[in-house]
Structure 1
Amino acid sequence: MSRENQIRQSLFDIERALRESAFWQVVPPEELAFNSTEPFSLDTMKPEEWLQWVFLPRMHALLDSDLALPAELALLPYFEDALEGSPEETAAVLLRIKLLDELFAPDVQDGAVHDA
C-alpha cells in the first residue's frame, strides 16, 4: 500500500475512533471559530473539534489534490495533554493519532514503511 493510501486509511481510522467516542460532533463549530490563527484553533475550538472539522478535511483535501503533505507531523503530544476524558475514553483516538504520526517518521517517508 502506498504511503498516501496508508495516510488516507489512518485518517479514516481517526474519524472512526472519533465517531465511536463521545468526541464526535454532528454540528460544526460556529463559523467564526474557523477564523482562528492560533495553532490547533485552541482559542476557538476544543481539540476534538479541530481534529474533526479542520485537520481531517484539510488532510483529505491535500491527498485528493496531490498537494504536498506536511514534512513532519507530531499531533500526539498535544492531544495527550489536551484531550479531556478518562483513559478509556481517549485511548482509541490517541492510538490512531499515534499511528498517523508514525507515518510521517523519516524512515517511513524514505520508503521503509513498517506495519502498525
Structure 2
Amino acid sequence: MSNNSTHENLATLLLSLEGALRQASLWQESAPVPEALLSTQPFCIDTLTFPQWLQFIFLPRMRWIVEQGDALPAKCGIAPMAEEYFRPLPVSGETVVRVLIEIDECLMAQE
C-alpha cells in the first residue's frame, strides 16, 4: 500500500470514526476544559472519557498527520482499549470498536 493511499484510507476511516461516535450519541458539541486535554496519562484517562479522548485528542492529531502527509504511526492498538471501555457499559460501542480495528489494521499494513 503506498503512503498516499494509506493516508487516503486513514482519512476515510477517521470520518467513519466520527460518524460512529455520533451514531452512538458519544459525540459532544462542546470541548472539555483546556486543562483536561493536557493530561500526561495514557488516553487522558484521568481527565477525559475514552470517547472524549477519541474526539478531542486522537481525531485532531490523526487528521493533522494525514493533512500534512506526515509519517503515520507504525501501529496504533486503540481497538483493545475501546473494547475494554465499552464492555461494562449499556451503550453499544460495537461500530466504534469495528472502525478502530480497521484503523489499527490500516496503520499496521503500511509499507
Give me the TM-score of the superposition, normalised by structure 2.
0.89
1:85 Cα deviation after fit? 2.6
Contact 2:7 2:66 in 1 (8 A): yes
Q: Percent identity?
A: 32
Amino acid at match of 1:38: Q
Q: Is 1:69–2:76 an aligned residue pair?
A: no
Q: Is 1:6–2:17 an aligned residue pair?
A: no
Q: Comparing both chains, which one has the higher relative contact order based on Cα–Cα distances under 8 Å and sequence gaps of 6 or more?
A: 2
1:63 Cα deviation after fit? 1.0
Amino acid at match of 2:89: G
Any stretches of 5+ residues in structure 2 without a counterpart?
none
Ranges of 4+ aligned residues in structure 1 off by more than 6 Å: none
Contact 2:37 2:44 in 1 (8 A): yes
Q: Is 1:34–2:25 an aligned residue pair?
A: no
Q: Which one has the bigger helix percentage?
A: 2
Q: How many residue pairs get matched?
A: 107
Partner of 1:2: helix, strand, or coil? helix
Q: Residues 92-116 of structure 1, C-alpha deviation per residue, up to 9 Å, x if partnerless?
A: 11111111111022xx213xxxxxx
RMSD of aligned C-alpha atoms? 1.5
Any stretches of 5+ residues in structure 1 without a counterpart?
111-116
